Amino acid sequence: MLNTKVEEALNAQINAEMWSAYLYLSMSAWCAAEGKPGMANWFEIQFREEQDHARILFNYVLQRGGRVNLRPIEAVPTEWKSALDVFESTLAHEQKVTSLINNLFALTTAENDYATQSMLKWFIDEQVEEEENAQNIIDNLRLLGENSGYGLFVLDKELAARTYTQASPLSKA
């Protein structure tokens, strides 16, 4: 059974993951409106993955005898200056999420909640991948420059090829 502090923190993380999903859906819409369908696709997949992350936590809370307390999702940004700006915002956001996950892990350590620590290790590994992916795209955009039409076209096509794979571990609730 979850203790109250851990349950509350997991519920806050569910909300943070849903906010992340909403942010990435907004970024997808912005990219689509800017004529970058591949980047829009990349963010659409991010949107779906963040929903998966929320669902993993949701299921975990229920499996451990806790109560899920869904909260309102705050508004997200809707405008960015450029493709580079939107991906720099993505990296900054993923770094913030990493901090949230690390704080959650620290709480479970203080509370001797070994089961939740075990579950959170997947999220820690996932955050390393999320930050690396965003950084790689930023590096490519910086290498290309903001005015490289053909280079941006090729990168956009590359990001269009990304496909959705359901995040694991999706547990049954």
* Domain ranges for the chain: 4-160
Amino acid at 26: S
Pure H helices in 34-113: 37-63, 83-110
81 CA to centre of own chain: 21
Q: Which top CATH class is 4-160?
A: mainly alpha
Q: What is the pLDDT of residue 88?
A: 98
pTM: 0.93
Residue 163 burial (10 A CB sphere; 0-12, 13-18, 19+): exposed
pLDDT in tens, the chain (173 residues): 899 999 999 999 999 999 999 999 999 999 999 999 999 999 999 999 999 999 999 999 999 999 999 999 999 999 999 999 999 999 999 999 999 999 999 999 999 999 999 999 999 999 999 999 999 999 999 999 877 888 899 999 999 999 999 887 654 44
Supply the pLDDT for residue 173: 40
Count H helices and E strands in the chain, helices first. 5, 0
Q: Which of 96, 25, 97, 87 is nearest to 57 (CA)?
A: 97
Q: Are 155 and 140 in contact (CB under 8 A)?
A: yes
Q: Report the alpha-carbon distance of residue 170 to residue 143 in Å, rounded.
A: 37
